[in-house]
Amino acid sequence: MLLFKKRFHAGLVDGSVTRTFRLWEKPHVKVGGRYRVHPIGVVEVEAVSRVALGTLTDVDARHGGFESKAEMLEYMAPVAKTPLTDTTPVFDVTLKHGGDGDRVSLALEAELTKDDVLELWAKLTKWDGRSPWTMTTLKLIKRRPRIAASKLAASLGRETLPFKEDVRKLKKLGLTQSFEVGYEVSPRGLAFMKAAARLKPKK
């Protein structure tokens, strides 16, 4: 994983944040690597270099999601082990948002209209048929986030592969997100579950 505070998430997704500056003692990422940034998906590292802090400018800082270099320095100071100077080495990482196959942008759309909820409900009801599984699966993932699919499937008395295929269907609607281990209900999924319980749409 590569940690970013929430303030940077939107910029990473829309491409306005393309760099990050880290006070690492050694590189924690490599060129070509893909690193998960919860909850927006993954970022792909395009370049890594070690530079002196004094060489960075306001323009560089804006690429990193700051208004100015002064704001960036203020942000970095609390985590610095020593006072920041022009010679302080920092890792300059160039990156881009790489999604992760989970339709991340849709998964983050948590502002649902009544029509959105009814449309999703109709889709899930159609999938359920005579063996309801959709809401059961969402509730299970919400209750047990980031638990291996094999364990989740076993708790329902199901085989792992069919269970994973069903979760993949929910991902396509933006209701869940996948991680290295297990899943989470996405912001969209949480909004839907809350609204569906309140509205009780007609089947």
User: According to the 3-state scheme, what is the secondary structure of the chain?
Assistant: CCCCCHHHHHHHHHCCCCEEEECCCCCCCCCCCEEEECCCEEEEEEEEEEEEHHHCCHHHHHHCCCCCHHHHHHHHHHHCCCCCCCCCEEEEEEEEEEECCCCHHHHCCCCCCHHHHHHHHHHHHHHHCCCCCHHHHHHHHHHCCCCCHHHHHHHCCCCHHHHHHHHHHHHHCCCEEECCCCEEECHHHHHHHHHHHHHCCCC
pLDDT tens sequence across 34-91: 888 877 888 889 999 999 999 999 999 999 999 999 999 999 999 999 999 999 999 9
In this structure, the answer to whether residues 110 and 92 fall within a common structural domain is: no
Instruction: Identify which of 70, 50, 49, 48 has the alpha carbon closest to the alpha carbon of residue 58.
Output: 70
* CATH number where 160 lies: 1.10.10.10
On the CB side of 141, how many CA atoms lie within 13 Å of its CA?
29
Indicate whether 110 and 177 sit together in one domain.
yes
Q: How far apart are the first and last CA of the chain?
A: 41
Q: In angstroms, rounded to a whole number, what is the distance separating the alpha carbons of residues 177 and 167?
A: 9
Query: In terms of domains, do 60 and 92 share one?
Result: yes
Instruction: Look up the CATH number of the domain holding residue 32.
Output: 3.10.400.10
Structurally, the chain folds into a number of domains equal to 2
Please identify, among 99, 132, 151, the residue that sits at the C-terminal boundary of a domain.
99
66 in a structural domain: yes
Full domain range(s) for residue 39: 6-99
Same domain assignment for residues 61 and 110: no
Check: pTM over 0.85? Answer yes or no.
Answer: no
pLDDT band per the 50, 70, 90 thresholds, residue 203: very low
pLDDT digits (tens, 9 = 90+) for 96-149: 987 654 455 677 788 899 999 999 999 999 999 888 999 999 999 999 998 999
Both 81 and 128 in a single domain?
Answer: no
Retrieve residue 157's tokens. Answer: 């008395």
Confirm if 35 and 1 have CB atoms less than 8 A apart.
yes
Q: Is residue 10 in a domain?
A: yes
- Indicate if 160 and 116 belong to the same structural domain: yes
**Residue 45 sits in the same domain as residue 84:** yes
